[in-house]
Amino acid sequence: MSATLTKPEPHSAPGPGAGTPGRGAAARGALGAALRSREIAVAIFLLAVIAVATARNDSFLLTGDGWRDLLLTPSILLLLAAGQMMVIVTRSVDLSVGSTMALTAYLTGRLFIDVPGIPIIVVVLAGVALGAFLGVINGVLVAYAQVPALVITLGTMYSYRGIMLTWAGSDRINASDMPSGFLALGTKSFLTIPLLTIVAVAVVALVGYYLHTARSGRELYAIGSDPDAAKLYGLKVPTRVLTAFVLCGALAGLAGVVHAARYGTVSSGVGNGIELQAVGAAVIGGVAIFGGSGTVWGAAIGAVLLVTINRALPILGIPDFWQRAVVGALILGAVVLDRILALRQARKFDEEREG
Amino acid sequence: MKFNTRRVSALVALTLAASAALTACGSDDGEGGGGGDSASTITFLPKNLGNPYFDASSTGGERAVGEFDGTFEEVGPTTATPDAQVPFINTAAQQGVGALVVSANDPTALGSALEEARDAGVKVVTFDSDVDPEYRDIFVNQASAEGIAQTQVDLIAEQIGEEGQVAILSAAANATNQNAWIELMESYAAETYPNIEIVETVYGDDDDQTSFDKTAALLQSNPELKGIISPTTVGIAAAARYLSTSQYKGQVALTGLGTPNQMREFIEDGTVTSFALWNPEDLGYLAAHAAHALVEGDITGEEGDTFTAGDLGEYTVGADGEVLLGDPTVFTSENIGDFDF
């Protein structure tokens, strides 16, 4: 992660979420404010969900398990949403993260079985490396072959899953196949904060720092805002897009390792459909699906909200069958809100231009 | 305008991607298998090879075949699809094997291939997963729905002292097997254990993560919960994993249907005291003996026929040519070391 961090550019630090070079400073400020409010709005909604669920049943927050699960359960989606967000900002999307995660989760289990006594850190690095490699394939195809990311990653989503099915078959990794030291990472805590949550939050912070301060990070926004302009401006568009995919793949790889540690079981169905949750988290958190704007904080809060609402609905007594519908409505609501805000923004720009 | 069109098409494409992701993926063809040539050959054709469950049933089958001095063969596809099983049935028919012991990937798709094999004089026994009765001589059923339901309720009743709240963690909401079992469990519990209340049924979709999170939600939303029954191998393993790292470990009992390899860890650390599953080795053993009895002409598959299945004892063919293995095997810390599947 940190290897790709470049030096912060002193002159390029507009508000979070802004990032279209060439637009007026006032507009930039207004856009930044609107997006900031979006993240705050989602965060308030999240707190409200937690408050209501806790009022209904205080074990949601106030017991040891409740507090731990509240923090721990979102960690996998946090990693995926942070990666996905970087890709979406460049006006791409990576649908293969679920399959990538499945492959690295299975690799994790296989390494523990086939190489007895292998150090845990080596396994973690191997998972991240495999994820990054799969990200390179996506990135090269998208950035250099100029095929839309949606098509490429839909293809690799099935290809990677196919490799997983061939490799794993009906085999499954069980908790007893992995060392207890590794499984303990899934629940270990520092000052009641689970280790995996700390890792996920650290990753989000690093991504946020990179996108906010590093020149190459800022350029991701520029590319997503207007790829043609970014190219004319002399930005290395393919390299930057490739970087975003590699980082996204690496984070998906890490998510696979985390999955193995947390759930202790790996079968060929790991991560089925989670790619859409990652996209959903980013959208709910205010990351524009067409690129160019949004923050990793937004995506992170969106991920926590998506997971938490899923856990809160049973407590609120919503029947099992309706829970998905509620999540769907949430995503639709976020998209509609996004559209309304964008239209209002556009009207404002027009007025400013005329006035 | 151009920008807008692009947005719309991107959205449409995303929708398409989302729906594509909902459909399951891929299959591929199996590989060829060897063949015996004498009428004393019993050929096992499991749903797929490399599956620990069927490895166990074949082990049982091989042991049975050794007892009556036949030749044991195992062939099968690498993926569990019906079309992949057909070539193996055709080959067995051409070789003129004595009997074919099949776990079918589809109740009807194998029909014509099995009919041809039977016309060629091959006896057909299905086990684990049946085809329509007209395509086979005998179906060796692993356990009756009643047996499965009662065993699980008895196990949880024993663990929680016959009273308290119990919840069920199932597979998908439309899983036929599970729904039939749950219905029987509810009525059996109501009759036999009046102090046990089944408070909720949740669905983990046979997905590790979903089952895991549903277990957490169950425990949180039912503070009085004493036990969980999970009649699915994925569900019970996920629930056990959650319980083993939770404050409810040892306080909330868990049982259901699981495989010893998945559950070993949780039996050893005390999260789970007992769970059940039919013994696939016995299943294969019984199926091989049933096949042998058919080949020898001892039975024809008529209701009321009886035959002896080695050390499992005597079995009677029931209605529709079904032979029932018996009640599921209960696994505890005492016997789990004897099983590997």
Q: What is the Cα gyration radius of chain B? A: 23
Average pLDDT for chain A: 84
Measured between alpha carbons, how far is A208 from A89 in angstroms, rounded to an integer? Answer: 12
- Chain A, residues 4-63, CB within 8 A of chain B, namely 57, 59-60, 63
- Read off the pLDDT of residues A265-304 as tens digits, 9 standing for 90 and up: 888 778 888 998 999 999 888 888 888 888 999 999 999 9
Angstrom CA distances, B224 to B84, B196, B200, B331, stand at 49, 12, 12, 27
- B237 contacts A175? CB cut-off 8 A: yes
**CB-CB contact of B283 with B325 (8 Å):** yes
- Chain A, residues 140-159, CB within 8 A of chain B, namely 148, 150-151, 154, 157-158
| CATH number of the domain to which B120 belongs | 3.40.50.2300
Of the three residues B277, B297, B315, the one that is the final residue of a domain is: B277
For A313, the closest chain B residue by CA position comes to B217
Nearest CA to B117 among B138, B97, B140? Answer: B97
**CB-CB contact of B271 with B289 (8 Å):** no
For A187, the closest chain B residue by CA position comes to B245
Measured between alpha carbons, how far is B147 from B324 in angstroms, rounded to an integer? Answer: 10
- How many domains does one find in chain A? 1
Q: State the burial class of residue B75 (Cβ atoms within 10 Å of its Cβ: 0-12, 13-18, 19+).
A: buried
Upper half-sphere CA count for residue A321 (Cβ side, 13 Å): 2
pLDDT at position A14 is 41
- B213 contacts A310? CB cut-off 8 A: yes
Range(s) of the domain holding residue A209? 11-354
Measured between alpha carbons, how far is B322 from B127 in angstroms, rounded to an integer? Answer: 10
- In-domain check, residue A177: yes
- In-domain check, residue B34: no
Q: Which residue out of A20, A65, A147, A192 would a mutagenesis test of the B interface target, given it has the greatest number of B Cβ atoms within 10 Å?
A: A65
- Each residue's pLDDT, cut to its tens digit, for chain B (341 residues) gives 444 555 555 555 555 555 544 443 333 333 333 334 457 899 999 887 766 778 888 999 999 999 988 899 899 887 677 788 899 999 998 988 999 999 888 888 888 999 999 999 999 999 988 888 889 999 998 888 888 899 999 999 999 999 999 999 988 777 777 888 899 999 999 999 999 999 989 888 777 888 888 898 888 888 899 999 999 888 899 999 999 888 888 899 999 998 888 899 899 988 999 999 988 889 999 999 999 999 988 898 888 899 998 888 899 998 888 999 888 889 999 999 888 87
**CB-CB contact of A47 with A354 (8 Å):** no
- In-domain check, residue A5: no
Q: What is the mean pLDDT of residues A153-161?
A: 93
- In-domain check, residue B3: no
- Read off the pLDDT of residues A5-16 as tens digits, 9 standing for 90 and up: 333 343 433 444
Q: Which residue out of B16, B58, B221, B272 would a mutagenesis test of the A interface target, given it has the greatest number of A Cβ atoms within 10 Å?
A: B221
Q: Which residues contact A52 (CB under 8 A, 6 or more apart)?
A: A312, A316
**CB-CB contact of B56 with B46 (8 Å):** no
Of the three residues B242, B277, B312, the one that is the final residue of a domain is: B277
For B262, the closest chain A residue by CA position comes to A174
List CB contacts (< 8 A) between B246 and chain A. 65
Beta-bridged to residue B127, according to DSSP, are: B140
B219, amino acid identity = L
What is the DSSP pairing of strand B99-102 with strand B123-127?
parallel
**CB-CB contact of A277 with B184 (8 Å):** no
Write out the two tokens for B29.
């063809």
**CB-CB contact of B58 with B112 (8 Å):** no
**CB-CB contact of A101 with A109 (8 Å):** no
- A154 contacts B265? CB cut-off 8 A: no
Q: What is the mean pLDDT of residues A101-112?
A: 94
List CB contacts (< 8 A) between B239 and chain A. none
- Residue listed under structure tokens 């650390």: B269
Q: State the burial class of residue B115 (Cβ atoms within 10 Å of its Cβ: 0-12, 13-18, 19+).
A: middle
List CB contacts (< 8 A) between B216 and chain A. 65, 69, 73, 311
pLDDT at position A320 is 66
List CB contacts (< 8 A) between A172 and chain B. 262
| CATH number of the domain to which A93 belongs | 1.10.3470
Q: How far is B58 from chain A (nearest CA, A)?
A: 16
- In-domain check, residue A3: no
Nearest to B246 among A65, A264, A317 (CB): A65
- In-domain check, residue B63: yes
How many residue pairs from chains A and B have C-beta atoms closer than 8 A? 124
- B261 contacts A175? CB cut-off 8 A: no
- In-domain check, residue A225: yes
pLDDT at position B8 is 55
Measured between alpha carbons, how far is B253 from B166 in angstroms, rounded to an integer? Answer: 9
- In-domain check, residue B247: yes
Q: Is residue B191 located within the same domain as residue B313?
A: no
Q: Is residue B61 located within the same domain as residue B75?
A: yes
- B220 contacts A60? CB cut-off 8 A: yes
- Chain A, residues 318-347, CB within 8 A of chain B, namely 320-321
- A265 contacts B237? CB cut-off 8 A: yes
Q: How far is B308 from chain A (nearest CA, A)?
A: 33
Q: Is residue B242 located within the same domain as residue B303?
A: no
- Residue listed under structure tokens 């559209």: A339
- A263 contacts B219? CB cut-off 8 A: no
Q: What is the mean pLDDT of residues A70-80?
A: 93
Give the model's confidence band at A1: pLDDT under 50 very low, under 70 low, under 90 confident, else very high.
Answer: very low
List CB contacts (< 8 A) between B50 and chain A. 169-171
**CB-CB contact of A104 with A127 (8 Å):** yes
Q: Angle formed by the axes of helices A75-89 and A215-225, to 10°?
A: 70
- How many domains does one find in chain B? 2
Upper half-sphere CA count for residue A188 (Cβ side, 13 Å): 12
Give the predicted TM-score (pTM) of the model. Answer: 0.73
Q: How far is B293 from chain A (nearest CA, A)?
A: 32
List CB contacts (< 8 A) between B341 and chain A. none
Q: What is the mean pLDDT of residues A251-267?
A: 92
pLDDT at position A176 is 81
Write out the two tokens for A67.
């507090």
Of the three residues B277, B310, B336, the one that is the final residue of a domain is: B277
A159-163: long-range pairs with CB below 8 Å, 24+? A159/A99, A160/A96, A160/A99, A160/A100, A160/A102, A160/A103, A160/A134, A161/A98, A161/A99, A161/A102, A161/B25, A161/B26, A162/B25, A162/B26, A163/A103
Q: State the burial class of residue A38 (Cβ atoms within 10 Å of its Cβ: 0-12, 13-18, 19+).
A: buried
- In-domain check, residue A6: no
Q: Which residue out of A265, A276, A290 would a mutagenesis test of the B interface target, given it has the greatest number of B Cβ atoms within 10 Å?
A: A265
CA angle (B223 as vertex; B222, B228 as ends), nearest 5: 60
Q: By mean pLDDT, which of A78-92, A230-244, B68-82, B217-231 is the weakest? A: B68-82
**φ, ψ dihedrals at B245, nearest 5°:** -110, 20
Measured between alpha carbons, how far is A119 from A105 in angstroms, rounded to an integer? Answer: 16
List CB contacts (< 8 A) between B51 and chain A. 169-170
- B241 contacts A264? CB cut-off 8 A: yes
- A311 contacts B26? CB cut-off 8 A: no
**CB-CB contact of A76 with A262 (8 Å):** yes
Q: How far is B279 from chain A (nearest CA, A)?
A: 19
- A290 contacts B13? CB cut-off 8 A: no
Q: What is the mean pLDDT of residues A211-229?
A: 90
Q: Is residue B132 located within the same domain as residue B95?
A: yes
Q: Is residue B305 located within the same domain as residue B237?
A: no
Q: Is residue B168 located within the same domain as residue B272?
A: yes
- In-domain check, residue A274: yes
Range(s) of the domain holding residue B159? 145-277
Nearest to B51 among A162, A170, A265 (CB): A170
Nearest to B208 among A157, A265, A289 (CB): A265
- B202 contacts A265? CB cut-off 8 A: no
pLDDT at position B31 is 34
Q: Is residue B136 located within the same domain as residue B108?
A: yes
- In-domain check, residue A347: yes
- A59 contacts B223? CB cut-off 8 A: yes
The DSSP line for A120-182 is HHHHHHHHHHHHHHHHHHHHHHHHTT---HHHHHHHHHHHHHHHHHHHHTT--B-GGGS-HHH
